[in-house]
Amino acid sequence: MNNPLKNRTAILWDFDGVLYPYSFSRKIREDIFYTASIRGAREVLPHLSEEDARRMGRESHERYFDTVTGFLTCAKECGLDLTQFKKDLLAVQLAYAYEGVCTNLPELMAPCHETNKLFEALSPHIRHAVITHGHARNWTRPAARHLGIDSYFNHIFGLDDFNFQLKGQSPFAVNMALDALGAAPAEAIFIEDALPHLEVAKNAHPDLLTVFIEGETPIQKPEYVDIMVGRPRHFMKELLAAHMNDNENRF
């Protein structure tokens, strides 16, 4: 019987928490990412107090898995154009985040030799796209270069590229990536560390293979998740094996 993974020729990747470890301490997260979020918000919304900016930034991250949505009510109350506000805020927040990581936690972006070898081995078989709530130009692309994997992605789409339609509320980003890769759902894999994003994608595309990165804390597998693994490279090994014709060439 054929391995069903052999028919999968495209991967839609989340980025943060998937392609680099996101399990650093809450203090480090606040020091770097929340500080960048707050700094960016107070630059775009100069009247905003640091206390309110911290509260909105935490809500945005923990409730919406992004850095922007928690600030929209405030921007609306200020009479700002929300479309432009979201673009401006995301760009400056993620620029500060990248600066903060490079300065204070460069090891976060240290390449994983094993993962990079797997990307190389899979390259004849698999096309890749990133769909992230980050900013492609100011965060995801430079971070991917640090990780040594940027050349493997055919497309990198940030939150502004898919019109700020959150992955936990709409399959828009998934549809965009599938179209860009020229892949049908039955040919594609979606790898995420946020369960709501996988649920929305699976409801829209039952034939899409959904892979949840559970990290160090195992959970009971939801019905909309096909595979759960601790790290992406564990799944990538299985995918590579499915695409190889003989055991000798397996990674």
Calculate the dihedral angle through the C-alpha atoms of 184, 186, 189, 194, rounding to the nearest 10 degrees. Answer: 100
Instruction: Check whether 91 has a pLDDT greater than 60.
Output: yes
Residues 100 and 47 in one domain: yes
The CA distance from 141 to 80, in Å, is: 29
Q: Which of 56, 75, 104 is the last residue of a domain?
A: 104
Residues 207 and 141 in one domain: yes
Instruction: Check whether 248 has a pLDDT greater than 70.
Output: no
Q: What is the pLDDT of residue 20?
A: 84
Provide the phi-psi class of 17: left if phi over 0, else alpha when psi is between -120 and 50, else beta: left
Q: Which of 38, 71, 104 is the last residue of a domain?
A: 104
CB contact at 8 A, 233 and 118 = yes
Interacting residues of 121 by C-beta distance below 8 A, sequence separation 6+: 240, 251
CB contact at 8 A, 212 and 190 = no
The CA distance from 203 to 168, in Å, is: 11
Per-residue pLDDT tens over the stretch 154-210: 999 999 999 999 999 999 999 999 999 999 999 999 999 999 999 999 999 999 999
Inter-CA distances, 217 with 37, 66, 237, Å = 27, 22, 21
Structural domain total, the chain: 2
Q: Name the band, by pLDDT with cuts 50, 70 and 90, for residue 250.
A: very low
Residues 183 and 85 in one domain: no
Nearest to 42 by CA among 66, 34, 59, 32: 34
Q: Which of 50, 79, 104 is the last residue of a domain?
A: 104
Residues 17 and 31 in one domain: no
The CA distance from 205 to 145, in Å, is: 31
The CA distance from 17 to 214, in Å, is: 10
Q: Name the band, by pLDDT with cuts 50, 70 and 90, for residue 246.
A: very low
Per-residue pLDDT tens over the stretch 217-230: 778 999 999 999 99
Residues 194 and 209 in one domain: yes
Instruction: Check whether 33 has a pLDDT greater than 80.
Output: yes
Residue 37 sits in which domain range? 26-104
For the chain, percent of residues with pLDDT exceeding 90 = 76
Residues 63 and 187 in one domain: no
Name the residue type at position 188.
A
CB contact at 8 A, 105 and 28 = yes
Alpha helices (H) in 129-194, listed in sequence order = 141-147, 172-181
What is the pLDDT of the chain when averaged over all its residues? 91
Per-residue pLDDT tens over the stretch 103-115: 988 888 889 999 9
The CA distance from 157 to 166, in Å, is: 12
Which H helix or E strand runs over 213?
strand 209-213
Q: What is the pLDDT of residue 4?
A: 77
Instruction: Check whether 17 has a pLDDT greater than 90.
Output: no
The CA distance from 45 to 210, in Å, is: 38
Instruction: Check whether 43 has a pLDDT greater than 90.
Output: yes
